[in-house]
Amino acid sequence: MDSILIIGNVWPEPNSSAAGSRMLQLIQLFISKGFKITFASTAAESEHMHDINALGVTKTTIAINDNSFDNFVNNLKPQFVMFDRFMSEEQFGWRIAKHCPKALRILNTEDLHSLRKTREEAFKKKIDFTYSNLKSSDMAKREIASIYRSDISLIISSKEIDILRNQFNIRKELLQYLPFLLDPINTQTKNNWKPYNQRSHFITIGNFRHEPNWNSVLYLKETIWPLIKKELPETELHIYGAYPPPKATQIHNPKEGFHIKGWTKNAAEVMQQARICIAPIRFGAGIKGKLSEAMLNGTPSITTTIGAEGMLGEDSDWNGFIKDKPEEFAKAAIKLYNNENIWNQAQQNGIEIINTRFKKEELSNKLIQRIFKLKDNLEEHRYQNFIGSMLQHHTMKSTEFMSRWIEEKNKNN
């Protein structure tokens, strides 16, 4: 049986974040292909974590800067190792390279963290984002180094593939485009959705710990929602998301129709109650789970250029409207809310996006074929990746000695 070790930055929480949904999709893919899966993480268990044991996955807690991990992987001997985000690769990549040199190393980026962070910094400084700023960031240097050290990296957005290829000159052989793996929407699914006249109110959803989501909530509260509420006084905005902090619950205001709902166990259910999903995202990266969730439940949406990034083909239309200015955003939301014909066409656009951009079976098969082909030609693949070999050599030396120093320090304490 083929075996894979997944080193998770956190335990999967598919009902809390798009990253959690993405990880569960990957786990289910490997299960469907007959893999024996071990999921290991240094994170503390959380109240919303998925029961991966019930899926047949072996769950293990590991420690950072501790040679117990060496014994763990020497006993496990995985054929494939997948790092969840580049930070996990930084922490454990050198140990895998040392103790499991023949294991194929896969980096699941989730999104380009450096892109998201650089855009956030530019937004807060009120300056234009540039690729020069991205290239000069320390996080980009770390993240790109991690991509080079890995045998293959899973990239969730076509936009990020373009950035890596054209801005950082990363060879296509090191990258695999893999967006969300979603089941197609068929006629039966569509017929089960509530129609326009049985839906009401607006919805947005997203983990409150994710800065682009929190910024979006504040933007709605302070700028966009008052414009919508003025024209649609009977409507409400329902805001769902895991881990709402006190600063979020403090802006809950039913008189303004502004409802902080908090975590929901069933995002699909609440999404299907709403008429419109709104996501005025001003910075970020990857592709947005709330918007694919809206499409999967027949809910048209209004978002920004950043929000829709990586989700549209050249000839496809959005599942509603894409607007970047607050006044235009609010007008589009009002128009879509009030017009059943436009709403129905937007819903159909969403179906087309899901069925053409997120082909689960096709994308899954491409990934599995690719990783087995790389595994069979691993020595040649690594030979062609000289920059990765060079970075692996120096990283192993520096990271190993730093880790050993921390180990000894911890023993003395």
State the pLDDT confidence band at 184, using cuts at 50, 70 and 90.
very high
pLDDT at 182 over 80: yes
Please indicate whether the domains covering 3-181+360-412 and 187-357 agree at the CATH topology level: yes
State the pLDDT confidence band at 371, using cuts at 50, 70 and 90.
very high
Q: Which CATH number fits domain 3-181+360-412: 3.40.50.170, 3.40.50.2000, 2.40.30.10, 1.20.1090.10?
A: 3.40.50.2000
Q: Which CATH number fits domain 187-357: 3.40.50.720, 3.40.50.2000, 3.40.50.300, 3.40.50.2020?
A: 3.40.50.2000
State the pLDDT confidence band at 141, using cuts at 50, 70 and 90.
very high
Write down the pLDDT at residue 7.
Answer: 98
Write down the pLDDT at residue 400.
Answer: 67
Q: Is 104 exposed, middle or buried (0-12, 13-18, 19+ CB in 10 A)?
A: buried
Strands 104-108 and 80-84: parallel
- Which tens digit of pLDDT belongs to each residue from 398-407? 666 666 666 6
Write down the pLDDT at residue 402.
Answer: 67
- Domain coordinates of the chain in residue numbers? 3-181+360-412, 187-357
Average pLDDT along the chain = 94
Nearest Cα neighbor of 20 from 48, 55, 58, 56 is 48
Mean pLDDT across the stretch 96-109?
97
| C-alpha separations of 18 from 242, 281, 292, 293 in Å | 11, 15, 10, 9
Mean pLDDT across the stretch 52-77?
95
- Weakest-pLDDT range from 253-257, 284-288, 315-319: 315-319
pLDDT at 313 over 70: yes
Write down the pLDDT at residue 314.
Answer: 75
Mean pLDDT across the stretch 307-315?
89
State the pLDDT confidence band at 90, using cuts at 50, 70 and 90.
very high
